[in-house]
Amino acid sequence: MAGGAGRSFPTLSPIPYPLSPIPYPLSPTPYPLSPTPYPLPMDPLDLTFMSRALELARTAEAAGEVPVGAVIVKDGAIVAEGWNRPIGASDPTAHAEIVALRAAGQALGTYRLTGTTLYVTLEPCAMCASAMVHARVQRLVFAATDPRGGAAGSVFNIVQHAALNHRIECTGGVLAEECATLLRNFFLARR
């Protein structure tokens, strides 16, 4: 039957979350689904670049967006930056990581971002993690975990999935408390 006419689909009940303002901890704890224990040893520059990502997250917050910021680094220098803007851009894919990946591709003149490190204030979702794998990002450094949708070990581990042709080195928990606090406060203010 064309278009599914005559088919019966189950009625889905609404998802019961969020039940309270961020009812789960955003913390740098180890992830049971990940083959690599977190956090891995930090590069001395991780704090510097994550601090910049946190500044960008504040830019997103000031624009009324979920406060997530991202920075892409190659050879010790920032080549691209991004912050969440799906609301302002009317673009559901305009997550901080995607914005930064697009800018890095333009800046470097290639869609293959080999030798780069992506810093982001919240563990990437499945969309962003998949984009990083396709772009061949070498390393991911994130701050707060996302136990509801994180795709770097919390819920899924797309960035290191054995079935994929590229795996990303990961370090989690860099400035986790600062980034988690920013997210918590953002959502508390909206409830």
Please identify every residue annotated as catalytic: 97
* Of 110, 103, 105, the residue nearest 82 (C-alpha): 103
Strand 139-144 and strand 169-172: pairing?
A: parallel
Residue 70 in contact with residue 63, Cβ under 8 Å? Answer: no
CA separation for the pair 138, 184 (Å, rounded): 30
Residue 84 in contact with residue 66, Cβ under 8 Å? Answer: yes
Phi, psi for residue 144 in degrees, rounded to 5? -80, 145
